[in-house]
Structure 1
Amino acid sequence: MRHLFILNPSAGKNGQAAQALMEEIRRLPLDTAVRLTQKRGDAERIAREESAAGDPLRIYACGGDGTLNDVVNAAAGLDHVAVTNVPVGTGNDFLKLFGPQARQRFRDLTALSAGREVLFDVMDCNGRLGLDIVCAGVDARVAADVHRFKHIPMVRGIGAYILALLDNVLFRGINRPMRVETPEGLWYEGETAILCICNGRHYGGGFMPVPDAMPDDGVLDMLLVPKVGRLTFLRLVGAYGKGEYRRYPQYIQAYHGQSVTFSAQEELVAVVDGEVMRAHAFTLCLSPKKLRFFFPEGLDYAPNPGTPSL
């Protein structure tokens, strides 16, 4: 079996993390290959090229959630390809599914390369696939705006996120008109603060809106927050981020299903595992494709351990 590492050569401070990782890869007693990315979309292109031969392949997306998302879009539905994520220099919200030791354990290439495989559900949002969470409210607009603040001197990472949050909540407005429907009977039309659809559990660098969401149960967990004022939003955002939505049914509506559509006359922003999309209408559903995902022994992603391996 081949082990393909797709890596951004500039990952980490001055590319130091990427260099250290390449040294570790060279020491592995495996049939390994390294392909370097140069621009957006390269990881998906490389994964498609390398998967085309049809031979058994394990792909290591070395980077953050965006790199993983690219590889997922290339490998989902392929029986001969399994995918994982090696955290290098950026945020890795999806890996938090595996617990507080996930980042450290997924950096152990020896343990990771010997890990077991499971089948995960995959979401399809207007043709873009995702593993983790799709958001389409003020949280999505915040995520889309973070880049505007990263260029300010002395502002990086969480600082840019906080500025984007304050800008949207205090000045641009929390709520937007939206129509939301599901085949299971949800029909809502009106001002909307948050729409969050979960296959995984974490997004936004620290939010866990549905702590018992499972990426392999064939169900999407959805939270809808209709119009709220600034004070209510600021009071609730901490509880929302900790997954305490059941305490506030008067503000946070919970639904479960396999698909949802949302639309508006004004262009909407949706974020799929960190990838920003813009459209007037979105259809999101569980894809018929599954993703083979592998992870180190000793970790578990289930609230109740014991999910069988393939």
Structure 2
Amino acid sequence: MEHVFIVNPISGKADASLYLVPQIIEQAKKCNISYRVEMTQAHRHAVQLAQAYAQAGDPVRLYACGGDGTLNEVLEGVLRSGNHEAEVASIPCGSGNDYVRNFGKPQDFLNLENQINGHAISVDLMRTQTGISAAICSVGIDAKVAYNIPKYRRIPLCGGTMAYNLSILENLCRPLGQKLRVEIDGKVFCDQFLIATICNGSYYGGGYCAAPKADLQDGVLEVVLVRKMSRLRIASVLAKYKAGAHIAEDGTVCPDLRDVLYCFHAQEVHIIPVDEKNTIVNIDGECGPAERLDAWVMPGAVRFVLPLPVYDSWTQNKQKGQTLFVH
């Protein structure tokens, strides 16, 4: 098998080409594998690289070395190739690294030896109107906060945390909620919503656990809708939403939140703004204005590699019928 490491040098806080590439070369030689290292040169370059290697026809494992955006591009490239046997792995060195939280802690995926010796499992993806999504798509205040962060980062001495907090403050000072038409497998819900998420996985936004019971292998999406509420209540509700405490052990919404929060299972979801032409849409951390958000589940769409210890834990929990839930 050919092992191809696709490295995004501008992902995260440090240049991965300076610290990660030497580690890759050293470990690849120790494990005596056939390998290549490719550096991305531009946005969506990883799509082209992944597609080309997957279409070559030989057994291949493609390592997305970057954040969730890099992983998303590698997954899309593999899907475009039509090679259903190509494997995708993630070396999470981005800012959020939310996708791997579905299986363990991000640091569990940084051990290159365990990655090389890991095993692939089939996982679901989502098809959207702009491409694919591995974890979560959303519309609402969460997407707007993420969309506004870059403009604050341009301010001198305004780091990631400060930029995030300033973006939250800006959005809380604006009118809350947006009237949305949400179509879930043909059923229509129209209301003022604070957040509307379509979840394949559990995590997004740097650790928010929107769907703690999500299963990446069940062929089902989870839709979480949070209605508009008073500013006095937002902090407590979002704290539970971040921790995954809004969903009870049996998979239902906690009783104290049932007046503002709903959860559904779905195969197909459409979210359309009613009173505005556009809304801010988040797809695996990539945010921008769009007229709508459309998502369809893609059961067993790709083979994703779990590092050896993570694979052992995952299979044991699956055999017990448990969902691996890591904060």
Q: With the length of structure 2 as denominator, give the TM-score of the two structures.
A: 0.87
1:291 match: 302
Conservation of the 8 A alpha-carbon contact between 1:73 and 1:128: yes
Q: Distance in 2 between matches of 1:209 and 1:13?
A: 26
Report the identity percentage. Answer: 33
Matched, 1:147 2:145: no
Describe the shift of the 1:240–1:302 C-alpha distance in structure 2 as closer, same or farther (beyond 3 A). Answer: farther
The separation in 2 between residues aligned to 1:9 and 1:180, in whole angstroms, is 38
Superposed CA deviations along residues 142-187 of structure 1, whole A, max 9, x for unmatched, are 11111111111222222211211111112x22211110111263x2
CA distance in structure 2 between the aligned counterparts of 1:13 and 1:147, rounded to whole angstroms: 14
Q: Which moved more, 1:259-268 or 1:130-139?
A: 259-268
Tell me the distance in 1 between the aligned counterparts of 2:279 and 2:67: 25
Structure 1 residue 161 corresponds to structure 2 residue 164: yes
Judge which range, 224-233 or 110-119, deviates more: 224-233
Unaligned runs of 5+ in 2: 247-252, 322-327
> In the alignment, which of 33, 39, 42 is matched to residue 39 of structure 1?
42
Query: Could you tell me which amino acid in structure 1 is paired with residue 280 of structure 2?
Result: V
Task: Tell me, yes or no, if the aligned pair for 2:12 and 2:66 is still in contact at 8 Å.
Answer: no
Spell out the pairing of 1:233-248 with structure 2 (5 A cutoff): 233-245=234-246, 246-247=253-254, 248=257
Q: Report if the CA contact (8 A) 1:270-1:278 is conserved.
A: yes
Instruction: Name the aligned partner's letter for residue 176 of structure 1.
Output: Q
* 1:88 and 2:125 are equivalent in the alignment: no
Q: Which stretch of the first structure deviates more once superposed, 283-292 or 31-40?
A: 283-292
Alignment equivalent of 1:304, drawn from 307, 312, 317: 317
SS of the equivalent of 2:56 reads: coil
> How big is the shift at 1:10?
4.2
State the 1:303 CA deviation. 9.6
Contact 2:127 / 2:296 at 8 angstroms: preserved in 1? yes
Supply the AA of the counterpart residue of 1:105.
D
Give every structure 1 segment of 4 or more consecutive aligned residues whose post-TM-superposition deviation is greater than 6 Å. none
Shift of the alpha carbon at 1:18?
A: 2.6
User: CA contact under 8 A between 1:97 and 1:301: conserved in structure 2?
Assistant: no
Per the alignment, do residues 161 and 13 of structure 1 end up closer, same or farther by CA in structure 2, a change over 3 Å counting?
closer
What residue identity is the alignment partner of 1:151?
Answer: R
Q: Over aligned residue pairs, what C-alpha RMSD do you find?
A: 2.0
Instruction: Report deviation, 1:138.
Output: 0.9
State the TM-score, normalized to the length of structure 1.
Answer: 0.91
Letter in 1 for 2:9: P
Unpaired stretches in structure 1, ≥5 consecutive residues: none
Is 1:173–2:184 an aligned residue pair? no
- Between the two proteins, the alignment pairs up a number of residues equal to 303
